[in-house]
C-alpha cells in the first residue's frame, strides 16, 4: 500500500510538466529533494550509535495561474525510507502547502501552511544552508511551518513580512503572530551587507518544550532539553541577524531570545542562543542573495565548487525553574557542489554540553549526499 501510494504520487509529479500554458497561462513544475546523512560518533556520556538517516525525501509541485496566483505543496516521505510509521493520513509530514497572490501593488498575500517569518537561517532553504544542520538556536526557537495568513513586501533595500498563524498540520498547536524586517544597505558589485530583526508572540496550547539536536540527527538524541513545561501562557521571541558577503567570502550571525510566561505561580524564564558562521568558496563562486535571504552556490567550473565553512553556536536553556542545560558547538565543514543538483557535505562537530550537573562532550563526524530538482 505504501509503495503504491508513493509510486502514484511520483508518477503525478513527474508527469505534471505536461500541464502547462493554455488560455489561462496555467503551469505546473515538479520539485523534489533527497538528503541522506551518515554520522560517526566519539561518544562521551550518552551512548551514540553510528547510523544512516534519510533526513529529507520530499516531492512537491509548484503551480502558476497567470501572472498573479501561485500554489505550492510538498510532502516528506523520509519516514518510508527510514522504516518509521507513515503519517500520510495524519498530515504529519506535510511541509509547504499554500496559495499566494502577487497582484496587489503594496505586497503579496499568502494563505496556507508556510514558515513563520523568524530567522535568516530558518528561512533559507535546507537545499542552500551552509552546514548540514541549522545552528542550535535555530533548531530550538524557530517556529517552522504553521497554518496562517501572511503579507510580505520587498523593495530594493528592504523586506517586511508578517504572519498570523495557528497550529501546523498534524503538529504544533496554539496561535500567534510574527513579523520580520530586513535592511540591505549594500547590495552591489558582489558585496552584500544584511541586517534584520524579527519578533513573534505565541499563545501555545498544552505543554511546551525547548530542545535541540547537537546539529546532527542520525543518533536521534538531544543533549539539552527543558522537558515538557506546564502552564505556559505566552512565549515572546526576538531575533536579531546580520550577514556580510564579498565575492567568495561570507559571514552571518544570529541572536535569539525566548521569554516564557507561566501561570499557576511558576517562575518565568528567559532562554537564549546565538551563532557565528563563515564560509570561503575556494573555487571563487559567490553565494547568491535575494529578498532578505541567501540562495545557493552555482558551480562555474567543470570540477564543481568547493567551500570551507566554520561555525560556533551556543544555547542556554537554564533560567528560573527551567533546567534544560547549555551547549556550545564548534563545527568545521567542507562542501562540494558537483552541479546545481548534487552536493556532498561533511561536518566535524565538537560538542560541549552540560545539563543538571552532568557534562556530555561527544565529537561527531557527519556527512550528507544531497540531490535536488
- Count other Cβ atoms within 10 Å, centred on residue 44: 16
Contact assessment for residue 319 and residue 270, using Cβ atoms and an 8 Å cutoff? yes
Tell which residue, 228, 237, 226, has the closest CA to residue 205: 228
Q: CA–CA separation, 99 vs 94, rounded Å?
A: 15
- Please give the full DSSP string across 246-311, using - where no structure is assigned: ETTEEEEEEEEEEEEEE-TTPPPEEEEEEEEEEEEETTS----EETTEE------STT-EEEEEEE
Q: What is the mean pLDDT of the chain?
A: 92
Confidence of residue 18 (pLDDT cuts 50, 70, 90): very low
CB 351 within 8 A of CB 359: no
Question: What's the longest Cα–Cα distance across the chain?
Answer: 68
Q: Which residue has the cell 551547549?
A: 327
- What ranges do the domains of the chain cover? 2-372
pLDDT digits (tens, 9 = 90+) for 221-254: 999 999 999 999 999 999 999 999 999 999 999 9
Query: Distance (Å, rounded) from C-alpha 367 to C-alpha 363?
Result: 14
pLDDT, tens digit, for every residue of 158-178? 999 999 999 999 888 899 999
Residue 86: name the closest of 74, 95, 96, 76 by CA.
76
What is the structure's pLDDT at 2? 43
Closest CA to 137 of 270, 255, 294, 9: 255
Q: How far is CA 63 from the centre of its chain?
A: 23
- pTM for the whole structure: 0.91
Q: How far apart are CA 103 and CA 220, in angstroms?
A: 44
C-alpha cell at 136: 542550535
Q: What is the pLDDT of residue 6?
A: 46
CATH for the 2-372 domain, from 3.30.300.30, 2.40.160.10, 3.40.50.11390, 1.10.10.10: 2.40.160.10
- 139 φ, ψ to 5°? -65, -30
C-alpha distances in Å from residue 262, one per residue of 55, 135, 232, 292: 34, 27, 4, 34
Amino acid at each position: 500500500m505504501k509503495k503504491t501510494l508513493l509510486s502514484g504520487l511520483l508518477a503525478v509529479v513527474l508527469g505534471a510538466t505536461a500541464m502547462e500554458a493554455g488560455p489561462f497561462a496555467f503551469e505546473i513544475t515538479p520539485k523534489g529533494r533527497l538528503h541522506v546523512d551518515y554520522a560517526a560518533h566519539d561518544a562521551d556520556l550518552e551512548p551514540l550509535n553510528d547510523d544512516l538517516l534519510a533526513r529529507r525525501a520530499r516531492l512537491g509541485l509548484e503551480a502558476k495561474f497567470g501572472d498573479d496566483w501561485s500554489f505550492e505543496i510538498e510532502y516528506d516521505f523520509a519516514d518510508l525510507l527510514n522504516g518509521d510509521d507513515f503519517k500520510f493520513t495524519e498530515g504529519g509530514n506535510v511541509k509547504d502547502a499554500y496559495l499566494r497572490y502577487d497582484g496587489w501593488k503594496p505586497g503579496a498575500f499568502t494563505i496556507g501552511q508556510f514558515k513563520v517569518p523568524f530567522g535568516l537561517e530558518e528561512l533559507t532553504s535546507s537545499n542552500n544552508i551552509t552546514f548540514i544542520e541549522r545552528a542550535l538556536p535555530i533548531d530550538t526557537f524557530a517556529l517552522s511551518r504553521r497554518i496562517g495568513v501572511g503579507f510580505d513586501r520587498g523593495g530594493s533595500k528592504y523586506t517586511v513580512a508578517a504572519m498570523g498563524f495557528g497550529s501546523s498540520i498534524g503538529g504544533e498547536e496554539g496561535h500567534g503572530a510574527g513579523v520580520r524586517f530586513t535592511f540591505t544597505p549594500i547590495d552591489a558589485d558582489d558585496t552584500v551587507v544584511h541586517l534584520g530583526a524579527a519578533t513573534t508572540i505565541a499563545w501555545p496550547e498544552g505543554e511546551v518544550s525547548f530542545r535541540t539536536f547537537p546539529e546532527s540527527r542520525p543518533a536521534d538524541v538531544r543533549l539539552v532539553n527543558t522537558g515538557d513545561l506546564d502552564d505556559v501562557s505566552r512565549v515572546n521571541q526576538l531575533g536579531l541577524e546580520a550577514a556580510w558577503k564579498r565575492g567568495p567570502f561570507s559571514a552571518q550571525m544570529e541572536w535569539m531570545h525566548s521569554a516564557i510566561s507561566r501561570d499557576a505561580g511558576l517562575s518565568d524564564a528567559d532562554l537564549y542562543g546565538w551563532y557565528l558562521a563563515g564560509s570561503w568558496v575556494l573555487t571563487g563562486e559567490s553565494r547568491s542573495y535575494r529578498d532578505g535571504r541567501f540562495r545557493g552556490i552555482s558551480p562555474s567550473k567543470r570540477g564543481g565548487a568547493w567551500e570551507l565553512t566554520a561555525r560556533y553556536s551556543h544555547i542556554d536553556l537554564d533560567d528560573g525553574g527551567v533546567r534544560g542545560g547549555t551547549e556550545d558547538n564548534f563545527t568545521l565543514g567542507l562542501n562540494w557542489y558537483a552541479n546545481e543538483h548534487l552536493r556532498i557535505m561533511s561536518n566535524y562537530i565538537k560538542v560541549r554540553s552540560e545539563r543538571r550537573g552532568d557534562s556530555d562532550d561527544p565529537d561527531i563526524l557527519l556527512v550528507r549526499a544531497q540531490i535536488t530538482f
